Chains A and B, each alone.
Chain A
Amino acid sequence: MPKRSLIFITLFIAGFLFIAFDEANAQSLQEIIDRAEKGETIQLPDGTYEEPIVIDKPIQLVGSADVVFKVKSDRPAITIKANGATLEQIAVEYESGANDTPAILIQGSQNVIRSVTIETASVGILLDDAHENLLSDISITGDENLPIRERRRGIDLWKADRNTIEHAKISHVEDGIYEEFCEENVFRNNIVTHSRYGYHLMFTERTELYHNESYENISGMMIMGTKETHAYENTLKFNQEDVQSLGLLLYDVYDSRIEHNTIAHNRIGILVEEAYDNEISYNDVTNNFIGLQFKRAENNVITHNAFDANVSQGQAEDSMMNETNANYWSDHHGLDVTGDGMSDLSYHVDPFYMHLANKYPAFRLLFQSPGMIFLDSMMHTPKEEQLVDASPLMENPLSSSETFNEHNTAIAIISTTLFLMSIITIYMGVRQT
């Protein structure tokens, strides 16, 4: 009996000491940072930290799998004002007291944020006038129960230049990565899902996006008011749930290159609106409701893309002077007399339906109705307003991405059953007396 109670008391005291030690840690972390020399590495002991901290000198703050910042405050959980600081291996659970306060705020330059996990209903990371930072292996999860309009951005860049964001996994936020008034940022190998927009660019120059993925968001990639954006080898899929859904939007975009992207299963694959002098090539645009749509866009070059199995391959409105030649259209039955791999019959998309749908959105219910196709063939809009490919490609320039060899046993069984059922019914019907 006494022996057991002794063990119990020892455990109790040990536990108490542990908690006390932990508390002491949390309370003194800012002091530790304040006392640290430039360039010093602070190894954070395992535990939970509840106090927001400010890093204002180039130190390295390194956590572990068990270091958690559980902060509820109207200040950011971590603020980096320094240049050249490093933050590594921590998890942040942040509840903002005030609106829009980010979990991590970066106001300095050349900092490295690596292996950081953030859970918050507020903004994940804000780079405010911060340059040449590297954000790598970041995971940000918003609150999936919040409606989209109440969510905040995953990573927000404001007047921040030459930053690199890579290997970030972001879900259930407003915009995955949002940048405004920024130059020369690089986003690569990121994945954004279940959010409003995957990647959202506003008034930026020379942004480079590659190997990014965007799934099941309202829209995949929204590029607006930008110059010289280069987006390549990104995957934008299943952005179709909302009536405004898009794979890729180019709005008010100049001199950009969009190439080798995979854009599939979206409501609209690529929408080019009021955009000029862009080059869109070698993209794989498949299984979208509308493959390519132009609205008041001019002088863009769209070539060597593959438009395959989109419900409506393309639509154009007030968009003369675009060069839309030498693409592959799966529904085009071409004829190649000269043998140069290009069809000598041109491919036309008539915008009659789109005109109608724009003027009277209610008539969109007639989308692909059998009579609509009949009407389409009777009503011709002027040739200048049609999307025309004068020399469509005969073969898909991109290797067919989706091949499937499904076993047909199920079909065989079902059809044999159907066949036998019908034969028996006919026999019984005829034999009946």
Chain B
Amino acid sequence: MQMLTVFQRELKLGFRNSWTYSFLILFSIFTGAILLLHSSVSSIEGYTNMTGTLMNMTLYLLPLITLLLGSFSITAEKEDGHWGLLATYPLSSVSFFFGKWLGLAIILTTIIFFSFGISGILISIGGQAMNTETFIFFLAFSVLLALTYLSIAFLIGALSKNRWQALIGAIAVWFITIVIWPLLMISLLTQLPSYKLVQPTLQVLTILNPAEFIRVFSMMRLGAGSAFGADYDALITWALSNNGLIIFIIMLIIYVFVTLFISSWIWNRGDKYGAD
């Protein structure tokens, strides 16, 4: 019940926030551009160079938007004193976080739906050809990416004292998990004492980095798994199995839940000490 109240409040605040609409416009332009680009290429289905490029472009922009929107939303509560007011009510930080997450999840999904909707309508009107499955794939890819990064954003928000810290944190996470991830992996893992450790370590770290996890799983589902080589045979077989998709979704849900619980715990702790 408390969660629902927080959720409704978040929706109202979110949709009245001009930031939301700036992101909506930015993401619409972006989605329109990538979908138009994709529809102009002769390739049809499966994973191609174009699919890869567009996935990467989405990976560059969407997590960054999500991290900023999410972490600012949390620190704003702190800075503007809303939480201080809310804390006088019998409201647990867990339901506060889950309510806020749900609210922002709806807002982000709405932004994505709007962008894909308007781009899809433009493509249809313009008479451009576009594979339906590719369209739905990019939609699902974006939504999953946004939802997982939203939970990380909350963690950053809970750890930060103000918007500035949140901004630095968000950019740091974005930079590490997306931009310099391969560089980091290559330079760190080649230091491991045995080469045999590289593959399992990389696999575990990939699962912990939602951007890589979603990207690798998507590529496997699109039939590009063999590009990863023999070392990942078991992973590919799993990803392509009937249960693969379900387990993948469950893992993402667990990821979101765990991150949110940790965030609310940190938030609570900070609150107690902060009050002193």
Contacts and interface: CB of A to CB of B under 8 A. Distances in A.
B106 interface: yes
A370 B178 CA distance: 6
A70 B268 CA distance: 79
A5 interface: no
Given A371-B178, A429-B14, A400 B48 contact: no
Interface string A391-433: 0000000001011111010111011111111110110011010
Interface residues of A, number: 63
18 contacts: A267-B227, A311-B49, A311-B52, A330-B41, A362-B195, A363-B189, A367-B228, A371-B178, A371-B183, A402-B44, A404-B129, A406-B131, A414-B120, A416-B117, A419-B113, A419-B117, A429-B14, A429-B16
A412 B124 contact: yes
B270 to A, nearest CB: 29
Contacts of B129: 404-406, 408
Given A310-B49, A419-B118, A410 B132 contact: yes
Given A289-B227, A362-B198, 20 more contacts: A287-B43, A308-B43, A309-B41, A309-B42, A361-B229, A361-B231, A362-B202, A363-B202, A365-B216, A367-B227, A368-B219, A368-B227, A370-B181, A375-B186, A404-B129, A415-B118, A418-B113, A418-B116, A426-B114, A429-B16
B36 interface: no
Interface of A: 240-245, 265, 267, 286-287, 289-290, 308-313, 330-331, 356-357, 360-375, 400, 402-406, 408, 410-412, 414-423, 425-426, 429-430, 432
Nearest to A240: B226
B136 interface: yes
Contacts of A357: 229
Nearest to A286: B43
Nearest to B177: A371
Contacts of B135: 411, 414-415
List the 5 shortest-distance A-B pairs measured between CB atoms, nearest first: A415-B120, A419-B117, A429-B15, A418-B117, A309-B43
Contacts of B178: 370-371
A375 B183 contact: yes
A312 B135 CA distance: 22
Contacts of A311: 47-49, 52, 224, 227
Given A368-B52, A370-B59, A430 B183 contact: no
B49 A331 contact: yes
Interface in B31-72: 41-44, 46-50, 52, 56, 59-60
A244 B230 contact: yes
Contacts of B119: 415
A370 B11 contact: no
Nearest to A424: B110
Interface residues of B, number: 73
A370 B174 CA distance: 12
B182 A414 contact: no
Contacts of A309: 41-43, 48-50
Contacts of A408: 123-124, 127-130
A414 B132 contact: yes
Given A362-B199, A404-B129, A405-B129, A430 B16 contact: yes
A309 B42 CA distance: 8
Contacts of A410: 132
Contacts, number: 207
A289 B127 CA distance: 29
B232 interface: yes
B113 A422 contact: yes
Contacts of A310: 48-49
B190 interface: yes
A413 B46 CA distance: 22
B185 A366 contact: yes
A429 B43 contact: no
A356 B136 CA distance: 33
B251 interface: no
Given A310-B48, A331-B49, A416-B117, A368 B56 contact: yes
A414 B52 CA distance: 23
B226 A243 contact: yes
Contacts of A361: 199, 229-231
A432 B8 contact: yes
Contacts of A290: 227
Contacts of A365: 202-203, 206, 212, 216, 228, 231-232
B121 A415 contact: yes
A369 B212 contact: yes
Nearest to A379: B183
Contacts of B186: 356, 360, 363, 366, 375
Nearest to B122: A415
A425 B8 CA distance: 12
Contacts of A374: 179-180, 182-183
B84 interface: no
B233 interface: yes
B163 interface: no
